Structure 1
């Protein structure tokens, strides 16, 4: 009998994992980013694993982190008491952190609660990041429903923070929401939140606010741009209802849908289950077609989204492609394309694990054309991987978020239809 190499033994062990066991392993390992690598004072998610970001926490990534704690509790990776302690720590920090008409900054110093500028003029409110945070917090409000003192405090604190966000104020009296506001620069960034991109959740939360709700006109004129966000063209034999040609980066189909269930979700502009499926299919088929001839693209290696390449963060899509695969792009698409996403997961794990599978799960990205593999982890991409795999497996986060009475009210106000509105 010949000598069997260590690598072959390792690969053999990997191949013995069932689909469920592999999904469990990846989710649990990725959760370490939010459990072990959380910023110690705040409990919030660090932006990324680089020394210059040791105390910089991310608002949107922490919203995903809150939801990941719920997944970990349900899967018995941590106890409910451990989850309560972490969520209380995060809420205590947020209650004392900088806010601007109730909204949070993109980045916050985890020690002081003060805003860390994201860019020169972006040193105040970030409404989209705030919406990703509250997607997580409202999910937690639906999950921590026991009558004990701690869980009651969690619910009451989330409600207090939620009701203080002045969503309507961010319209500037116009029929559109604005992304940023700064005490120093006011509205100088002047970035309208217009569809179609990752920010549908922002408008739904803004309409759901008990105290500061926007009107439907703001949604129709601002977000949907009076039908201008529609596409309707066909790419790779798939008709795309909304958004830019070829769909844009895949995080459009992920970030806002960690809690927002697209299944049967419709308004007069689109069926969002069909929108997301079309978007993912086009991205997948583009990678198979591989018109630029990048090394490694194919049925088992696909997924273009926003991710690291070398020392920069890039937005990858069929129209902006440098050969970099974003690991979370295919993995977070599991609810839409389970067969194709599982093939990518097995390839990433069984063929590339020595290069991209580490302490906190899969690293952010890789580029085989240039023989480059990231050693970085980003909170927002780590988080969405856990959450969308869980929605594929159990629907847990969709079930919690969509059962929130305020969310149902917001969806109804904007003219949405959903099976959740009849429950």
Structure 2
């Protein structure tokens, strides 16, 4: 039955991609494995069928209703491209695509990244698909983005490890991945201080002025910086920057679910849920501890608080509950917004990626939400690449649109839940191991 169902998924998407209406129906209720196959496969296709055609990398966005800002359809999003590298590895391992085709696509993407504009080794937030030139993200954000670049580095490490013992073509791909990530000059982005800065550009220098401190999605930037054997940072940069000389410790709780860390913006119940996703697609948080706290516990409890807030529904939004939850940064009724479990940040908008990508922390709650949306609301929230980015029952707002930065964690975290594949690849890397040890981390995955 399971093999037949996988054939159904492949055939149905083939028909869809050819413009043929899919009249096949699966009778009965999907098993959990079948549901995960379905969600993971269609989300993977965002990075395969839906990729920007010249670069092969992930688009910033895709709108099924064909409503785009005038110049967005060819824009590569650097962070989403990094997540896409990991998603394609998952697709190869799940046999969604052949290994040969996967290697060809990954090589295409990495050659594009090699030739794209870089700023002291860092890629910009957005790139033009056809040229690799920077597309300014905002008025002064027209240079290197070290956070988005670190998401790429996380993916490059996984590519390096997955193919390092393969055939000559695969070993060449592995070597290119290693070369690219080692070209990132993390030390430059200190700006001479013991903290890492998010942005730098030749035109505007440090004008964005964003030193990264406190818990958010950026832990991976410090880990990659410490791991770099070419342009690394010392532990003091982590201690004084990320950990705020110990002030990152900020214990509090919601319904007896505790948080240990200061969340950027003083979020009382945790920030947008992607903060517990993006850094941990390769970096395994389970058992990951340092002098300041337990990152696995923080990530899990942030997800549990997010879930419990939606169950409690203190603002009385329509449609919230145990089977429909998840607040994170996503499309929103009046544009992009950083939704979080607090008054003023909870706008009645559910983003499926929040619950789906939390499956490694909240498997029962995440599966319940996926099943409810797929079985009860599919006509409103599901399209070519799986669940749409966000919706609101309160506002009766449903738009058939996707964001690459939100689709990537769905593919990767489902895979980590099912097999731990990306966690295993990343955590076995010798540079990553050295970086974690340099920062004083403990982890069951660190070799003695």
What's the TM-score, normalizing by structure 1? 0.96
The match for 2:136 among 94, 114, 117 is 117
Matches within 5 A, 1:241-256: 241-242=260-261, 243=263, 244-256=267-279
Q: How many residues align?
A: 413
Which of residues 265, 269, 278 is equivalent to 2:301?
A: 278
Change (3 A) 1:148 1:269: same
1:31-70 maps to which residues of 2 (within 5 A)? 31-50=44-63, 51=68, 52-70=71-89
Distance 1:197 1:285 in 2: 20
1:374 Cα deviation after fit: 2.4
Give the Cα separation in 1 of the matches to 2:212 and 2:399: 31
Q: Is the 8 A contact 1:309 1:374 kept in 2?
A: no
Please report how far the alpha carbon of residue 310 of structure 1 lies from its aligned counterpart in structure 2 after TM superposition.
3.4
1:155 aligns with 2:174: yes
Task: Tell me how far 1:30 sits from its aligned partner.
Answer: 1.0
SS in 2 for 1:121: coil
8 Å CA contact 2:46–2:404 kept in 1: the answer is yes
CA 147–395 in structure 1, closer or farther in 2 if over 3 Å, else same: closer
Contact kept, 8 Å, 1:307 with 1:315, in 2: the verdict is yes
Q: Is the 8 A contact 1:299 1:344 kept in 2?
A: yes
- 1:14 to partner: Cα distance: 6.8
Q: 1:3 is matched with which residue?
A: none
Q: Structure 2: where are the runs of 5+ without partners?
A: 1-22
* 3-state SS in 2 of match to 1:53: coil
Larger mean CA deviation between 138-147 and 265-274 belongs to 138-147
Q: Does 1:107 align with 2:126?
A: yes
CA deviation string 1:101-124 (max 9, x = no partner): 000000000101100000000000
Query: Gapped runs of 5+ residues in structure 1?
Result: 1-9
Given that 2:184 and 2:231 are in contact with CA atoms closer than 8 Å, whether structure 1 keeps it comes out as yes
- 8 A contact 2:228–2:431 mirrored in 1: yes
Please report how far the alpha carbon of residue 199 of structure 1 lies from its aligned counterpart in structure 2 after TM superposition.
0.3
- Please report how far the alpha carbon of residue 298 of structure 1 lies from its aligned counterpart in structure 2 after TM superposition: 0.6
Match of 2:236 in 1: 217
Offset of residue 147 of structure 1: 4.4
- Displacement of 1:148 after TM fit? 2.5
Equivalent residue, structure 2, for 1:236: 255
Q: Is 31-40 or 306-315 further displaced after alignment? A: 306-315
Matched position secondary structure for 1:240 = strand
* Aligned residues of 2:164 and 2:175 also touching (Cα < 8 A): no
Contact 2:121 2:184 in 1 (8 A): yes
Residue pair 1:304, 1:329 contacting (<8 A) in 2 also = yes
Measure how far apart 1:311 and its partner are.
5.1
- What's the CA shift for 1:13? 4.5
Match for residue 143 of structure 1?
162
Name the structure 2 match of 1:81.
100
Residue 325 (structure 1) aligned with residue 350 (structure 2) = yes
Native 8 Å contact 2:433 2:447 kept in 1? no
- Out of 394, 402, 406, the position equivalent to 2:427 is 402
Instruction: Tell whether the 8 Å contact from 2:74 to 2:130 is kept in structure 1 after alignment.
Output: yes
Instruction: Please state whether the residue corresponding to 1:43 is helix, strand or coil.
Output: coil
Q: Calculate the aligned-residue CA RMSD, in Å.
A: 1.3
Stretch deviating more after TM superposition (169-178 or 140-149):
140-149
Deviation of 1:149 after TM superposition, in Å, equals 2.4
Instruction: Report SS of the residue matched to 2:244.
Output: coil
Give 1:145 deviation, angstroms: 2.1
1:160-203 CA distances to partner (integer Å, 9 max, x unpaired)?
A: 21121110111011110000001110001110011110000000
Cα distance, 1:269 vs structure 2: 0.8
SS of equivalent to 1:419: coil
2:367 aligned residue: 342
Equivalent in the alignment of 1:294: 317
Are 1:388 and 2:413 an aligned pair?
Answer: yes
Question: 2: CA distance between counterparts of 1:360 and 1:53?
Answer: 18
Name the CA distance, whole Å, in 2 between partners of 1:14 and 1:280. 33
Q: Which whole-Å CA distance do the structure 1 matches of 2:177 and 2:414 have between them?
A: 25
